[in-house]
Structure 1
Amino acid sequence: MTQRPRVLVVQPEDVCPIGMFGTWLDRAGVDCDVLAVQEGRALPSTLGDHAGLIVMGGRMGANDAADHRWMVPTKGLIVGTVAAGTPFLGICLGHQLATVALGGEVVVNPAGPTIGLRPWRPTSYGTSDLLTGVLPSGTPVLHHNNDIAARLPDGATTLGHAPDGSVQAARFGPRAWGVQFHPEVDAATVAGWARDPEDATSHEATRQLREREAELHQAWEPLATRFAALVGG
C-alpha cells in the first residue's frame, strides 16, 4: 500500500486549530501532524519526511518573538521550506510570520480590525494562480485579523486585496502561499474567538458563518484539495 503524504501543522494556539482544512486534506489523501507549540513542544529544524508545512493563526502578533520563543524557530522552518520549494501555506498569523521571516513587514492595520465575511478579490495573478485560482472572485471568506502585511518580501506576489486595500493573499515562492483569511474555520471555532459577550463583531461573524456554513465550506474546500495535490506531487 502506498503511504499517504504527511504535512506538519504548526499550531500557535488551541483556539486556532487546523479545523475543516484538516478534514478536507484527509479526504484528499493527506495526513496532518499537528505540533501545538503553545504547549512548549520543540520545533524541528527541518521538515524531515513531511511533504509540506502549514502554519496556523493565533492572537499574538508576528513581531512578538520576545514573548513567544517558538516564533524564531518557526520562522526559520518557514524560510527553509520556501527555499526548498516544499509546499507551504500560512493562514492569518502564519501568513504574517512568513511575510516577516522572508523580509517583509507586518503592522497593525491603520484601518482597524477586519472581522467577518469579506469578498475574495483576486488580482490577475490570483485568478490564474496554482492555488488561489480555484477560488472564484467574490467568494466570501472569513477575516479575523488586527494586523496586515504592509510590505511583502522581495519577489513575493500579491494574489488578492481585501476591501480595505490590504494584502488578502500572497505567493512567496513557487509553492509557498499565505492567506490573510481563514479557510479552515467553522462557526464553533469563530465563536471561541469572541473576546467577551459584548464583542458584537465576532458574534456577528459567528452568526454569518453559522447561517452559510454549508455553502462556504463547499466554496473553501477546493483550496485544501489543491494544496493536497501540491503536497502529493
Structure 2
Amino acid sequence: MSTPRLLVIQPDETDPPATLGDWLTDAGAQLDIRRAWTVEIPDNLDGYQGLVCLGGGMNAEEDDTHPWLADIRRLLASAAHGGTPVLGVCLGAQLLASATGGRVTKADKGPEVGGYLIAKKDAAWTDPLFAELPLMPDVFHFHADVITSLPPSAVLLASSPKYPNQAYRLGGCAYGIQFHIETTVEIAQAWAHDSPEMAETAKPGTFDAANLTELHADLAETWRPFAARFVQLAAGDLQPATPPPNRTLPLA
C-alpha cells in the first residue's frame, strides 16, 4: 500500500486528532495537521490524498468569531465535489453538510452527550467504510447542534432515536459522522469540566474514569478498523462507493 498524505484540519484547540490520529498513522497515513486558528487553510488539496476535519465547540456557521470556518467549508465542498476522500467528525460533519446544501441548527431536543449506540441503515451494509461495522456500534456524543437536513445528494448511513442524521456519505467517498471517535478519557473529562451544563445532560456516571475507559476500549475495537479503511480508501486500495443515480452535489 502506498503512503497517503492526509490533511487534518483541527478547528478548535479542545479537539485534537488524538486517538484517531494514532489510528490513521498506524494504518500507514502521513498526517499534515493544521490548527485552523493559527495557520491558513490551504486553498486546495494538491499533494493530499484525503481530508479529515475534526470537531469543536462552535457552530458550523459561526464565521464572525471564527472566520476560518468559511475556508474550511470551501475546502470540504471542493473535496466532496472533486472525489477526494473526506472524513468529517462532529463539527466536521456539520461543516461538510453546511457546505454542500444541508442545514445545521441548535438541537431542539437538547444536547446529545455521552456513550450511545447508533444503528446502521440499509445503505451502510454495502458501504466501503461502514459495511464491516456492527449493526449498532458504540459512539461518543458531545454536541448541542445537529444536522437537521442532510445535503440533497447525501446517503444516510446511521441513525439514532434522538437525532436521525448520525452518519452520511456524499458521492463515493466523502463522509460525515455526527459523533466522536477521536477522544481519550482525558479529553472527554476536559470537555465535561469546561461545559458543565452540557455534561449534566448525560447519564449519571458518564464521565467517571472507569466508565470512560470501558467506553473508549469499545470505541477502539470498532473504529480503529474503520480508520484503517479510510486510509485504504485514500491510498486507492479500497474502491469508493457507487453513488445512487441522479444525485449530484449542489455548488457551494
TM-score range relative to shorter protein: over 0.9
Contact 1:11 1:36 in 2 (8 A): yes
Within the candidate set 152, 160, 179, 2:158 is matched to 160
Within the candidate set 26, 41, 44, 2:42 is matched to 44
Question: Where does residue 227 of structure 1 map in the other structure?
Answer: 230
Identity percentage of aligned residues: 34
Question: Where does residue 216 of structure 2 map in the other structure?
Answer: 213
Kindly provide the amino acid, as one letter, of the partner of residue 214 in structure 2. E
* Superposition map of 1:1-233 within 5 A: 4-39=3-38, 41-194=39-192, 195=194, 199-201=199-201, 204-207=205-208, 208-233=211-236
Kindly provide the amino acid, as one letter, of the partner of residue 219 in structure 1. T
Question: Where does residue 249 of structure 2 map in the other structure?
Answer: none
TM-score normalised over the length of structure 1: 0.93
Instruction: Report the Cα offset of residue 196 of structure 1.
Output: 5.5
Kindly provide the amino acid, as one letter, of the partner of residue 10 in structure 2. Q
Instruction: Report the Cα offset of residue 118 of structure 1.
Output: 1.0
Provide the C-alpha distance between the structure 2 equivalents of 1:17 and 1:126, rounded to a whole number of angstroms: 27
Instruction: Report the Cα offset of residue 18 of structure 1.
Output: 0.9
Contact 2:115 2:139 in 1 (8 A): yes
Kindly provide the amino acid, as one letter, of the partner of residue 16 in structure 1. D
Instruction: Report the Cα offset of residue 161 of structure 1.
Output: 0.9
Provide the C-alpha distance between the structure 2 equivalents of 1:215 and 1:29, rounded to a whole number of angstroms: 22
Instruction: Report the Cα offset of residue 66 of structure 1.
Output: 1.9
Unmatched 5+ stretches in structure 1: none
Instruction: Report the Cα offset of residue 72 of structure 1.
Output: 1.0
Contact 1:116 1:204 in 2 (8 A): no
Q: Deviations over 1:115-138 (max 9, x none)?
A: 011112111012321112222112
Provide the C-alpha distance between the structure 1 equivalents of 2:37 and 2:201, rounded to a whole number of angstroms: 26
The RMSD of aligned alpha carbons is 1.7
TM-score normalised over the length of structure 2: 0.86
Contact 1:118 1:163 in 2 (8 A): no
Kindly provide the amino acid, as one letter, of the partner of residue 223 in structure 1. F
Provide the C-alpha distance between the structure 2 equivalents of 1:201 and 1:26, rounded to a whole number of angstroms: 34
Contact 1:127 1:133 in 2 (8 A): yes
Equivalent pairs, count: 231
Q: Deviations over 1:16-42 (max 9, x none)?
A: 011111111111100111100122x11
SS in 2 for 1:136: coil
In structure 2, the CA distance between the partners of 1:45 and 1:128, relative to structure 1 (3 Å rule), is same
SS in 1 for 2:14: coil
